Structure 1
Amino acid sequence: MRTQKKRLADVGYRLFSGSMMVLTLYAGYLCVVRAQRYMERQKQLQLAAEEQKNPED
């Protein structure tokens, strides 16, 4: 009986640890995507500001 409870606890711990790893990886992915979008937006804003400064008409 004791080993059965221990096995169940081990399985529960592994499932919990695995889910935390997946969540950590997903959060890292979201962070990278957000950083890329921020950098792209900053680049677009800088180009728009330069175009307003130096109109090529």
Structure 2
Amino acid sequence: MVTAKRLADIGYRAFSASMMLLTAYGGYLCTMRGIRYWEKQKQLKLAAKNQDPEIMKD
């Protein structure tokens, strides 16, 4: 038979584990968004650098 204290400990551990997983997943999402942003900026700079000056006069 499970006591109330034991049940509370199991619930606390399950909740803590789920919060750790959510934190890790959130960190992953933020990192991936940062990488995509960085790559996009790099592509934009390269595209601006390779533009023809004749086009920019218009």
Compute the TM-score of the two structures, normalised by the length of structure 2.
Answer: 0.84
> What secondary structure is seen at the aligned counterpart in 2 of 1:30?
helix
Q: Which residue identity does 1:7 align to in structure 2?
A: R
Q: Distance in 2 between matches of 1:39 and 1:54?
A: 26
- Which structure 2 residue ranges, 5 or more long, are not aligned? none
Shift of 1:54: 5.7
Give the RMSD, CA atoms, in angstroms.
2.0
* Structure 2 residue aligned with 1:44: 43
- Which structure 1 residue ranges, 5 or more long, are not aligned? none
* Structure 1 residue aligned with 2:6: 7
Q: Distance in 1 between matches of 2:52 and 2:41?
A: 17
Shift of 1:49: 0.3
* Structure 2 residue aligned with 1:30: 29
Shift of 1:53: 4.8
Name segments (4+ residues, structure 1) moved above 6 Å. none
> What secondary structure is seen at the aligned counterpart in 2 of 1:29?
helix
